[in-house]
């Protein structure tokens, strides 16, 4: 957390007061969710745990779902900042992201809860966020895999866009199986998937 905290303080120094306060709330909320995820907690109880008033929380976020999506997006962007400019290749990045979640089961739970909620017809914020998020990750991963196919480092008997969708799906699905039963492992099966991407 040291790196991400520094990042936030950096924000706070250079951003308008409202934006900085919003980021502070998100940082606190991540800490709250780190252990156990959202676990059905109401916005009021989240406010208590964060140490702000319910009204203050509603000033920054219209609904519980909007707060939770913002918390998840903030946690994800912190991770990207922490990764720095020398980002590893797509598959290694997915493995690194999944492994980073080993220390924060609450974020995996929050992610799964939010994805599930985004499938419900009432959810607009979530549906929009996750549809865009999946599309963005698939697109960048597809481009990277296609380059690998051209360079001969990735198998080319399967379309790059299928590989991208499968890698994301496997990573998401494995984290759920691992949360329910840690014996399933996370890094080892993902390394096996990486081996399956190699040219035949």
SS3 171: helix
Least distance (Å) between residue 34 CB and a copy of itself: 13
SS3 195: helix
Closest among 125, 122, 98 to 194, alpha carbons compared:
98
Nearer to a copy of itself, 30 or 98 (CB): 98
Least distance (Å) between residue 60 CB and a copy of itself: 24
Integer Cα distance of 65 and 28 in angstroms:
17
Integer Cα distance of 95 and 93 in angstroms:
5
- Cα distances (angstroms) measured from residue 111 to each of 58, 67, 122, 140, 196: 22, 13, 18, 20, 26
Nearer to a copy of itself, 28 or 133 (CB): 133
SS3 118: helix
Nearer to a copy of itself, 23 or 163 (CB): 163
Least distance (Å) between residue 132 CB and a copy of itself: 9
Nearer to a copy of itself, 43 or 176 (CB): 176
Nearer to a copy of itself, 21 or 155 (CB): 155
- Whether residue 167 contacts residue 94, with contact meaning beta carbons closer than 8 Å, is answered with yes
Least distance (Å) between residue 20 CB and a copy of itself: 32
Least distance (Å) between residue 148 CB and a copy of itself: 15
Nearer to a copy of itself, 37 or 90 (CB): 37
- Which residues of this protein are in contact with a copy of itself, per CB under 8 A? 36-40, 108-109, 112-113, 115-122, 127, 130-131, 134-135, 138, 155, 157-159, 162-163, 165-166, 168-174, 176-177, 179-181, 184-185, 188-189, 192-193, 195-196, 200
Least distance (Å) between residue 156 CB and a copy of itself: 12
E-strand stretches of the chain: none
**DSSP calls for 4-22:** HHHHHHHHHHHS-HHHHHH
């Amino acid at each position: 957390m040291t790196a991400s905290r520094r990042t936030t303080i950096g924000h706070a120094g250079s951003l308008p007061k409202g934006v900085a306060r919003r980021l502070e709330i998100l940082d606190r909320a991540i800490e709250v969710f780190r252990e156990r995820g959202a676990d059905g907690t109401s916005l009021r109880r989240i406010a208590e745990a964060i140490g702000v008033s319910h009204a203050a929380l509603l000033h920054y976020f219209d609904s519980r779902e909007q707060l939770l999506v913002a918390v998840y997006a903030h946690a994800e962007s912190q991770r990207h900042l922490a990764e720095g400019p020398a980002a590893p290749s797509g598959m290694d990045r997915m493995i690194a992201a999944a492994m980073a979640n080993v220390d924060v089961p609450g974020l995996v739970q929050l992610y799964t809860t939010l994805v599930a909620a985004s499938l419900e017809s009432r959810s607009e914020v979530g549906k929009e966020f996750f549809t865009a998020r999946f599309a963005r990750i698939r697109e960048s991963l597809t481009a990277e895999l296609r380059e690998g196919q051209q360079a001969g480092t990735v198998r080319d008997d399967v379309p790059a866009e299928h590989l991208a969708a499968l890698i994301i799906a496997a990573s998401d699905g494995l984290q759920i199986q691992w949360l329910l039963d840690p014996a399933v492992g996370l890094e080892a099966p993902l390394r096996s998937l990486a081996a399956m991407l190699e040219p035949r």
